[in-house]
Structure 1
Amino acid sequence: MSRKPIIGKCRLCGEIKKLTFEHVPPETTFNNYSVRILSGEEVIKQVADPNNPPWDFSDTKGTIQQRGRGGYYLCGDCNSKTGQWYVPEYSKFVHIVHSALQEVKGKEFGALGIKMKGIKPLSIFKQIMTLFCDINEGMMGDNSLKDYLLNKTSTNFKRERYHLYMHIHSGSVERMNGIMVQFASGVGLITLSEISTYPVGFALYIDKPEAYNPEGVEITIFSQFNYDDEIELEIIIPKLESNIFFSGDYRTKEEIENAIQESKDN
């Protein structure tokens, strides 16, 4: 029996069309295996249980997704265009990071220095932005992203509004979180969305306060290149742990356990 078509609003072009499954992150970047998807309700229930560490979801049922992480976000046309324009360069970029990680496997490190040759920054950047539009309905309230991402050569990007940070993914929890608003002491409200899976994580900050300095390395500069620009790049990427559901929280398990104990003692 053929699968019933899924009709909905494409998260890029905004038209009501037949939607196709899109891997987030792309299938070619280590997203081709079954995963267990947890709902926000399941995660909150688990985190709120004082008897379990906030990273232990072994007893949480969730939903098994055989084809990898992703969903029916884009119409076939948008999925095909962005897949052809951006995914090959993004995949190349991620596999360079993976290869560098294999060289230091079993070693302790806080950051990874990588030399890259022949990469196209704009395609990489646009693929990452496409992923964030996938997991956030309505292009994060910014219709200009539609023209930016569906015109492969466009460099008309709001760099004053968006700041993209990258890190080496580590820890027990993979995160794929839509926009969250958090309070940072001494700074105020922080608005961000995060995608963090092996081997790299990305945090997109929206209207970031100048006083706030996120962890990770900022790669917003990738948006300034032209589509055909091919460069050599030397970059130092910090390794950050994801052990809890909330975006931007890179505490180690020990730091989280200490915070929990301190809360109990008070």
Structure 2
Amino acid sequence: MKKEGICRICGNYGKLTFERVPPQSAFNSNPVFFQKSIHLHDKKSYLYGKKIRSNQGAGGYYLCEPCNNLTGSYYGDSYKKFAYMGMMALTNRIWASKTINFEYAIQPLNILKQILAMFMAIDTSDQLLNLKGLSDYILDKDSKAFPESLRVFVYHTVTKQVRNGWGMARTKKGYHTLGEITFPPYGVVYALDSEPTRNDFYEVTDFKNFNFNQTVQARLSIPFLTPKTYIPGLYL
């Protein structure tokens, strides 16, 4: 099944294909339930309190077929391996610890560009589509032209509540423009022209300094967090 619309990576209008966020191979192959604003806020609506079932997993008709295929072929396998290692880290964690230390063999740039492609896919505001240079950075596997206004972070989670969205948040640190995707074993967060809502996220912005398909061995210290609500940026 295909629908028509604007591809959220290249910006072209045409037929859209179903894009799983995260990739299907990264544990996103089973049906999921999610809620939109009308299910959570509009108490007068017959949809209030209900959920939508997606039999194809978390995702939607976000990308044109060329962008879907290109990003998947370039970066999908690297993210899948990162997710599998993250699940191993969760399985072997010391449950009293708030930070999980684990040895990873990863392709950093590939992972970063997959995360950014996921964020662009779910961004209905078009702020990422309109962010100068971001689309080209993702579609060119060798590009190093990372937008300076953007920062990207990771945390571990086991929550079953799908949190895919973007928005504004206010904390003691000030105002934040951010997006978040939560799907075990990770939550990923971006901050645009602002600080992150927490200081203990594991920042992966520096993954931009590696080359495409470059593999490194690294010991990462990634915090374990549980989202508080469906709203990005808030945790228990």
State the TM-score, normalized to the length of structure 1: 0.81
Q: Report the identity percentage.
A: 30
Instruction: Structure 1 unaligned segments of length 5 or more: list them.
Output: 47-58, 252-266
Describe the shift of the 1:89–1:209 C-alpha distance in structure 2 as closer, same or farther (beyond 3 A). Answer: closer
Task: Find the counterpart in structure 2 of residue 161 from structure 1.
Answer: 149
The correspondence of residues 1-266 of structure 1 with structure 2, limited to 5 A, is 3=1, 5-44=2-41, 60-104=49-93, 107-117=95-105, 119-137=106-124, 138=126, 140=128, 141-158=130-147, 160-171=148-159, 173-178=161-166, 180-185=167-172, 187-209=173-195, 213-251=198-236
Query: Which protein is richer in helix relative to its size?
Result: 1
2: CA distance, partners of 1:249 / 1:60: 20
Instruction: Judge conservation of contact 2:108–2:214 (CA < 8 Å) in 1.
Output: yes
Describe the shift of the 1:40–1:215 C-alpha distance in structure 2 as closer, same or farther (beyond 3 A). Answer: farther
2: CA distance, partners of 1:26 / 1:151: 19
Instruction: Structure 2 unaligned segments of length 5 or more: list them.
Output: none
Shift of 1:64: 1.1
Kindly report the root-mean-square deviation, in angstroms, between the aligned alpha carbons of the 2 structures: 2.0
Secondary structure of 1:142's match? coil
Q: Deviations over 1:83-132 (max 9, x none)?
A: 00000001101100111222238x43311101112x21000000000000
Secondary structure of 1:240's match? coil
State the AA in 2 paired with 1:147.
Answer: D
Q: Which region of structure 1 is more displaced relative to structure 2, 35-44 or 21-30?
A: 35-44
Secondary structure of 1:84's match? helix
State the AA in 2 paired with 1:8.
Answer: G
Aligned residues: 230
Instruction: Judge conservation of contact 1:28–1:91 (CA < 8 Å) in 2.
Output: yes
Rg larger for: 1
1: CA distance, partners of 2:57 / 2:77: 18
Shift of 1:41: 2.0
1: CA distance, partners of 2:61 / 2:75: 19
Displaced runs of 4 or more, over 4 A: none
Shift of 1:245: 1.6
1: CA distance, partners of 2:192 / 2:200: 15
2: CA distance, partners of 1:130 / 1:175: 16
